[in-house]
Structure 1
């Protein structure tokens, strides 16, 4: 039996303590990946992630780690093991199928609905009461569900997504949705958070999209996003109005009486 890649589990599901422990005890995860996932889920949940903190505290020492995993309630039940069939399909799909065969789409969709979307929709995947854990948000589905619930700390989660997710194509549509909501509601705090998320995306990934640029134009100038777009995105990809503002400001500073 081959252990699953840690990022398959990280992004495909909001895994629970008993499921993580089951995966370790049944050879689905290496000791090191079990500890890493426990750390990530502890960060997702903050204080409510006590069971994940216990797993993480053992380090990759297999005897101690496995002993603690056996103590997690439900870790050795069939219910805790159900998620791993879905995660194995996700891993096959990520590697373009075993022997060229695509994994069953219906089973993938059902697993995603149960182990990721339903948990995100109910708020079980993240701790939505504290800003700290939300800065580690790395599943776009958590942000989508937060929009639907109208979470107060939505903007913090969007910043977290910008900081942690490896693909700007998953980040920028959520940044745009944040800016749209902020502009429609005149929510200056949410607008600022959307601009900070856009700035982080520009700085970390060196890119932006047209939708975000159109929304940025409707925001006050000289924001964090203006600065980081100008500093980290290739200039040829930036709109004329940002060029005019940046170069015009520079000319005013150097000309007499400016």
Structure 2
């Protein structure tokens, strides 16, 4: 089986220490990717990611890393290796396109359910008690599951997704859901967090969608999102009401300066 890129593993599963070790010991990962994934999972879990921190601390020295991986409980078991068939299919699908046979599609769906969705639903994928850990959220499925559970720090995870995920199409629907929930419940903290996430998305990706704009209009003017949309999104894509607000604010600043 060929090497599997770290980003395939990162986004396709909430991997456990024994599974990461198995992948390294059976040639699915380079030493550098093993250490990188250990760092990312340590960040996901914060203080609870001690074993990942210990893997990361070995550095990309192959013999030293491999010796430590052999000591991880469960690393030599068949159970630890099951995830890698799924990850190989994900990697192959990413490189060859969305096509594939029906059995392959069923295997992908089953693996996604077991190694990503079920772990996200149970909260195993992230440490939901630490804001610092949640700022590294990079799997949209973790945010979706947090909505269903009603996590207290949900808004922090939405900000983390905006900061870390490479695709705004995966970010903006979760930002919109956060804003909708905040407006429906008059949750000012969640509203602020949703606006911060929208501002980060505009700044990092230079884009926004109609749903988020409609929700932004229902929020008080003068937020971080107003300013970053105006600064980073092409002006012709912005609505008239934001133009009106920003031009008025700019004129007021100009007159005040005089």
Q: TM-score range by the shorter chain?
A: over 0.9
Structure 1 residue 149 corresponds to structure 2 residue 145:
no
- Distance in 2 (CA, whole Å) between partners of 1:253 and 1:151 is 40
Q: CA deviation at 1:167?
A: 0.1
Please identify, of 144-153 and 1-10, the stretch whose mean Cα deviation from structure 2 is larger. Answer: 1-10
CA shift in 2, pair 1:190/1:97, >3 Å: closer
Task: Provide the residue aligned with 1:16 in structure 2.
Answer: 16
SS at match of 1:202: helix
Q: Does the alignment pair 1:166 with 2:162? A: no
C-alpha distance in structure 1 between counterparts of 2:254 and 2:203, whole Å: 27
Shift of 1:182: 0.2
Query: Match for residue 250 of structure 1?
Result: 250
Query: Deviation of residue 47 (structure 1)?
Result: 1.0
Helix, strand or coil for the counterpart of 1:222?
A: coil
Task: Name the structure 2 match of 1:82.
Answer: 82
TM-score, with structure 2 as normaliser = 0.96
Matched, 1:178 2:166: no
1:28 partnered with 2:36: no
1:56 aligns with 2:56: yes
What residue in structure 2 maps to residue 231 of structure 1?
231
Cα-to-partner distance string for 1:62-103 (whole Å, 9 max, x where unaligned) = 1110011011100000000000000000011101269x7557
User: Root-mean-square deviation (CA), in Å?
Assistant: 1.6
Corresponding position of 2:211: 211
Q: Cα deviations across residues 97-140 of structure 1 (Å, max 9, x unaligned)?
A: 69x75571000000000000000000000000010000000000
Q: Does the residue aligned with 1:107 lie in a helix, a strand or coil?
A: helix
- Structure 2 stretches lacking a partner, 5+ long: none
Match of 1:110 in 2: 110
Structure 1 pair 70–61 and aligned structure 2 pair: CA distance change class (3 A): same
The residue number in structure 2 matching 1:195 is 195
How big is each residue's C-alpha offset from its partner over 1:13-53, in whole Å with a ceiling of 9 and x where there is no partner? 00000000000000000000000000000000011111101
Q: Deviations over 1:129-169 (max 9, x none)?
A: 01000000000000000000000000000000000000000
Q: Distance in 2 between matches of 1:101 and 1:122?
A: 30
Q: Deviations over 1:202-248 (max 9, x none)?
A: 00000000000000000010100001000000000000000001112
- Map of 2:222 onto structure 1: 222
In 2, the alpha carbon distance for the partners of 1:31 and 1:3 equals: 11
After TM superposition, the score normalised by the length of structure 1 is 0.96
1:94 is aligned to 2:94: yes
Distance 1:117 1:182 in 2: 25
